[in-house]
Amino acid sequence: MEGLETVVLLGVTVLAGAILAPRLRVAAPLLLLVFGLLLGLVPQLRQIELPPETVLLIFLPVMLFWESLTTSLRSIRRDLRGIVLLSTLLVVASALAVAGVAHLLGLPWNAALILGAALAPPDATAVAALGRMLPRRNFMLLKAESLTNDGTALVLYAIAVGATLGGSYTPVNIAGLFALSYVGGAVAGILVAAAAYLLLVRVRDPLIINIALLITPFAAFLLAEAVHASGVLAVVAAGLIISFTSSRISTAVSRRQTESAWPLGSYLLNGALFVLIGLQVQAAVHEINARDVGRLLLSTVAVWLALIIVRFVFQTLSIAVIRVLDRRPSQRQRRMTYRARIVSSIAGFRGAVSLAIALSVPSALNDGTPLPGRDDIIFISAGVIVLTMLVQGPLLPALVRWAKLPEEPEEEELRLAELAVASAAVSAVDQLARELGTSEEVRGRVADEYRSHLSVTRALEAGSDPATTTQSRREETTLRQAVLERKREVLLELRLAGTVDDTVARRLQTRLDVEEQRLTGVEIID
């Protein structure tokens, strides 16, 4: 198919998924993967290829950067030890377990190690798309793990491929590769983020700010790849730094643009990626000799189960070791119950990165002979991705309800923040008015508004139970939204009558939109 036809097909498919998913009450990525599988039944559509470099250089930087921008730094600091263990030792354990199972079922040992490296890391894009029904802390832990584990997986992949092609590695070589992957990736991300900060801190134009933000993940990825470090970690490091400094390098207008454009772009890329994965799965199936299908299906199921079991066992053993070494009360509060470990094991989705690694496997050895097991690697990787998404994905919501995982008191934190901010505003308005030379009339009007807001906030906070507070907020929000809708109706009447120009109407419409965002909050996908 031509490039434009492919773009239109992907766009229409993603649109259909966005429309149908809420009505069918299924996650959009699951539906889009099914659409991709169905489209792959058409021989001409199976010719659409998903080049590995497209995933690694176009899709991943944008999606990982946005996920980094919306990741909780507090959660990372609180669960840093667990994140490090899961993104390093668990990846190695998973890769070895997958390699062992695949080798027992007939795959050559070198090919089995490559397969293990491909399937070891949970995928950040799949986790972000399908893991949102988890409580915030569990989701952030899984998200942080999936954002950082690719560095380990890609080093394992490089070692496995290098050994297959005749290379040899000592423990010192392997330690150096891991250090370069992580340290080099982090340094590259820090350098690019620092350059972006020095530029953006001097710029107030929202268009320039968002263009610079768009370039940042690609620059970080390319700089890391240039020194053979982890481009994924570079993007994540840059995103976390930009997120931390956002209030200093962006404006209210630029943030509104970011919070509108980036989720849309990320959704489109993510959706297209799931459709392409479905197409690639069909292509992989049709490349396999019919007599090998039974063996490969058995291998796929066995590898899939091994990944879930290893993840659960690793978390159980880690908790047992930490319980012996760290008996602090704060540590006891952070320990995962066995139900939480089951949920975490099921939530470890595999996705585009695994398929990209599998598709990157060289087709031939150095002497020109075909690489043994390459087609098997692609088939099993594709099959495991389908199983993790179409079996684990629908199963996860029911498991979350069964596990009864505790929720963090987000609403309580929101009320405390609102009260602190409102109190600070009332305390500062008189002093700021004097410094700015504001007239008494304006100062009094603004001060009365802030005092009114503070009194409402305190009234809701003092002695009212959460249900009553929530109901009061809902009633106030509903009333204000109704008033805003009436304002929009009047504006539309003026516009249709020709009383006001379209440009004037758009400016006023923007003000009404800002007012609604102040009322309901800007929806941020995290």
Residues 395 and 469 in one domain: no
Q: In this structure, are residues 86 and 140 in contact, taking their beta carbons and an 8 Å threshold? A: no
Residues 231 and 378 in one domain: yes
Task: State the average pLDDT for the chain.
Answer: 84
Q: In this structure, are residues 343 and 399 in contact, taking their beta carbons and an 8 Å threshold? A: yes
Kindly state whether residue 32 falls inside one of the protein's structural domains: no
pLDDT per residue as tens digits for the range 222-267: 999 999 898 889 999 999 999 888 878 888 788 888 888 888 888 8
pLDDT per residue as tens digits for the range 113-163: 999 999 999 988 788 778 777 887 888 888 888 888 888 888 888 888 888
Kindly state whether residue 138 falls inside one of the protein's structural domains: yes
Residues 383 and 504 in one domain: no
Q: Which residues of 359-389 are buried (b: 16+ CB within 10 A; e: fewer)?
A: bbbeeeeeeeeebebbbbbbbbbbbbbbbbb
Q: In this structure, are residues 355 and 153 in contact, taking their beta carbons and an 8 Å threshold? A: no
Structural domain total, the chain: 3
Residues 62 and 189 in one domain: yes
Kindly state whether residue 348 falls inside one of the protein's structural domains: yes
Kindly state whether residue 390 falls inside one of the protein's structural domains: yes
Kindly state whether residue 39 falls inside one of the protein's structural domains: no
Cβ neighbours of 41 (radius 10 Å):
10
CATH code of the domain containing 93: 1.20.1530.20
Q: For tokens 């304002």, name the residue.
A: 487
pLDDT per residue as tens digits for the range 117-129: 999 999 887 887 7
Long-range contacts of range 482-489, CB-CB < 8 Å, 24 or more positions apart?
484/512, 484/515, 484/516, 484/519, 487/512, 488/512
Give the CA distances from residue 453 to residues 173, 446, 463, in Å, rounded to whole numbers and listed in that order.
62, 11, 18
Kindly state whether residue 2 falls inside one of the protein's structural domains: no
Query: Is it the case that residue 334 has pLDDT exceeding 50?
Result: yes
Residues 403 and 413 in one domain: no
Residues 191 and 68 in one domain: yes
Residues 218 and 350 in one domain: yes
Q: In this structure, are residues 349 and 130 in contact, taking their beta carbons and an 8 Å threshold? A: yes
pLDDT at residue 526, as a whole number: 43
Nearest to 154 by CA among 300, 269, 56: 56
Kindly state whether residue 184 falls inside one of the protein's structural domains: yes
pLDDT per residue as tens digits for the range 29-46: 889 989 999 998 888 887
Give the pLDDT mean for 467-473. 63
Q: In this structure, are residues 525 and 139 in contact, taking their beta carbons and an 8 Å threshold? A: no
pLDDT at residue 525, as a whole number: 40
Which of the residue ranges 220-229, 254-263, 464-473, 486-495 has the most confident prediction, judged by mean pLDDT? 220-229
Residues 326 and 431 in one domain: no
For residue 108, give both structure tokens. 């050559």
- Residues spanned by the domain of 524: 465-526
Residues 150 and 110 in one domain: yes
Distance between CA atoms of 280 and 284, rounded to whole angstroms? 6
Name the pTM for this structure: 0.82
Residues 226 and 247 in one domain: yes
Distance between CA atoms of 433 and 14, rounded to whole angstroms? 51
- ∠ CA 114-120-124 to the nearest 5 degrees? 125
Q: In this structure, are residues 62 and 128 in contact, taking their beta carbons and an 8 Å threshold? A: no
Pick the last residue of a domain from 445, 463, 481: 463
Distance between CA atoms of 156 and 172, rounded to whole angstroms? 14
pLDDT per residue as tens digits for the range 46-77: 788 777 777 777 888 888 898 888 887 777 88
pLDDT per residue as tens digits for the range 277-295: 888 888 877 777 778 888 8
Greater model confidence, 432 or 306:
306
Give the pLDDT mean for 480-509. 77
Query: Is it the case that residue 524 has pLDDT exceeding 50?
Result: no
Residues 470 and 453 in one domain: no
Residues 458 and 386 in one domain: no
